[in-house]
A and B are shown apart, each in its own frame.
Chain A
């Protein structure tokens, strides 16, 4: 158990819908990262927050957005969902951006 929690574990929805994935970092960790893992693209970095502020962006689509709240939990919002958005979404946290990352168990999103 890494100490990072993600909800929900599974999510099934339809194309065009909007969903929110939630992540609670390890106690005391200020940095939160979001990754997407699909069969054809592998594990890809999406976005990072540090103490509430966006720190880095990766290959995140404009339909996707994220934020980190004052209590340090983070949410990833995915809208106008397409079939290709079906993937595992992982959240990770670290004490600081230069420390190792601890990953949550992931949310499996299925878009039908």
Chain B
């Protein structure tokens, strides 16, 4: 599975959009980009995933660059409850799809 690089920490003001970047320059054609988050020591929570096109759901938007070497997770109106560690994961959807978690980005939403 391709390796991802994320900033270790970010801050965002409550009510503003939080943009979390992820670099995955060695991604291969059959690998998807997944985002999960972990609030404190709770179980990780699935947010969104995509292959090439931008994706949006009720939680967030995922913007993937045309060359697929990087992506950005956007939380449009961050709340204090969005404070968490966000993990960007690249995974081959064929076969077992085990998730390889890196260190993630610790996002702090400030009032």
A interface with B by C-beta (< 8 Å): 2, 4, 33, 35, 42-45, 48, 55-56, 58, 88, 90, 92, 94, 97-98, 100-106, 108
Contact = CB atoms under 8 A, between A and B. Distances in A.
B57 to A, nearest CB: 11
Interface of B: 34, 38, 41-46, 49, 87, 93-103
Query: Main SS of the interface on chain B?
Result: loop
A87 to B, nearest CB: 11
- For the complex of A and B, 10 pairs with smallest distance between CB atoms: A103-B43, A56-B96, A43-B101, A100-B46, A45-B98, A98-B93, A103-B44, A97-B97, A55-B96, A90-B43
Contacts, number: 55
A44 to B, nearest CB: 7
A70 to B, nearest CB: 21
A12 B40 CA distance: 21
A106 B38 CA distance: 12
B46 A58 contact: no
A108 B100 CA distance: 21
Contacts of B46: 100-102
A98 B95 CA distance: 7
A58 B1 CA distance: 13
